[in-house]
Amino acid sequence: MDIKKIVPSNWFSREENQTGNLPAQQDSSFGSLARLHQEMDRLFENAFRDFRLPSDFSLPSVRLGNLFDNVTLRPKADVASTDKEYTVTFEIPGVDEEDVKLELAHDGTLTVKGEKRQEKEQKDKSFYRVERSYGSFQRTLSLPEDADHESINASFKNGVLTITCARKAIAQSPTRQIEIRKAG
């Protein structure tokens, strides 16, 4: 089995080259910056936890980490294969099946798009903290050359999207000897 066909960097090569402004798309430096802000927020909260303040006292709730909350919606993908098929699973908890779209381009690019919506209903409740993420996401896969585009199937259950694709035999072109001629 050719290991190059299942290496994740090959599967996601087109995704890394995309430029766009989707809320879910992030580069590693931006994600690192978000994690740094979240960690600093946590450190300050822990440092001042023991100070006894009046119950009606509140600090402005401007947290730098909140600026990045909608940016990190990027479903995790697992890519696996057997001799007969490829299987790709995406964890998309909290997303409804009808909010996920799957598209196959003629060049073998498989795109998973979706939207996670936050519907907040407030009836006589005071929220002190809400930790939900929402926004659009998009993942792009470059299918290997032995993936049978006609046999792609997808199912969605309990927040997990499972995509299967049969593998087909690739016609091997015979090798031939090329004569080397003496120059001049």
- Both tokens of 28, joined, read 């590693």
**Residue 1: partners with Cβ closer than 8 Å, 6 or more residues away:** 83
Name the percent of the chain lying above pLDDT 90.
34
pLDDT of residue 170: 83
| pLDDT above 70 for 136 | yes
Closest among 64, 2, 5, 76 to 35, alpha carbons compared: 64
How far apart are the C-alpha atoms of 158 and 96, rounded to whole Å?
Answer: 9
pLDDT of residue 121: 63
Question: Across residues 74-79, what is the average pLDDT?
Answer: 89
Mean pLDDT of the chain: 76
pLDDT of residue 86: 95
Q: What is the pTM of this model?
A: 0.58
pLDDT of residue 19: 47
How far apart are the C-alpha atoms of 29 and 37, rounded to whole Å?
Answer: 12
- In order of start, what are the domains of the chain with their CATH numbers? 10-19+72-119+130-168 (2.60.40.790), 27-71 (no CATH)
Higher pLDDT, 96 or 117: 96
